[in-house]
Chains A and B, each alone.
Chain A
Amino acid sequence: DGGITQSPKYLFRKEGQNVTLSCEQNLNHDAMYWYRQDPGQGLRLIYYSQIVNDFQKGDIAEGYSVSREKKESFPLTVTSAQKNPTAFYLCASSISVRGWGQLWDYGYTFGSGTRLTVV
């Protein structure tokens, strides 16, 4: 079955620690994304990557870092600089197609998420 796998499902972090959230997809999608979801806030974009070895900051990138060394993998590191890291983190991927002078994203496929709690 093709899809996106996020691990772990639950993660507890002590203050001052860095933690890395895993995201792996076997859909052969070029684009991958990390979102943060807080109650009543919807989904906010942290980082995104359209191709391997390239990624861009989203709306709330401070305190986070990513890498995209392989097409299938897009891990997110929550650093100690992130002041309020407790949240539900969602990874997504999509096909990006260039046409009519624009880059079109088709529907995102989301992973099942990681709930991070700072203790």
Chain B
Amino acid sequence: GQQVMQIPQYQHVQEGEDFTTYCNSSTTLSNIQWYKQRPGGHPVFLIQLVKSGEVKKQKRLTFQFGEAKKNSSLHITATQTTDVGTYFCAGLSGGSNYKLTFGKGTLLTVNP
């Protein structure tokens, strides 16, 4: 079945440093979504990427979808303590298999 791998599993940074998490799928995706889960909270939808090579920005967050639609990345510029949490990617395959498959997430901690 479809697998979505996410690296790194953990990342600790100093406040102000940049952060990137990477997501790779074993199959071509229809779209990819990104979620953030604060400690003790629930996942919150951040964004969805659909087109090959798509790049979207949300303030300090930059999301990319690979040309082959099998990988994606989330980059945070100048991290802040409010960025702490686990970032999940989730891929959707087309056709009959239309349910999301989540990566295991990257836990980001930020030292003030």
Contacts and interface: CB of A to CB of B under 8 A. Distances in A.
B108 interface: no
A107 B48 contact: yes
Which secondary structure dominates where chain A touches chain B? strand
Interface residues of A, number: 26
B103 to A, nearest CB: 6
Query: Range of interface residues on chain B?
Result: 20 to 34
Nearest to B4: A42
A90 B43 CA distance: 9
A105 B42 contact: no
A105 B33 CA distance: 10
Which secondary structure dominates where chain B touches chain A? strand
Given A40-B9, A43-B102, A58-B99, A104 B31 contact: yes
A33 B99 contact: yes
Contact of B99 (A90, A105, A107): A105
A26 B88 CA distance: 25
B30 A104 contact: yes
The 5 closest A-B pairs by CB, nearest first: A107-B45, A42-B104, A43-B102, A103-B98, A110-B42
Given A44-B102, A105-B100, 19 more contacts: A40-B9, A42-B6, A42-B103, A42-B105, A45-B100, A45-B101, A48-B99, A58-B99, A90-B42, A102-B30, A102-B94, A102-B98, A104-B31, A104-B98, A107-B48, A108-B35, A111-B42, A112-B41, A113-B42
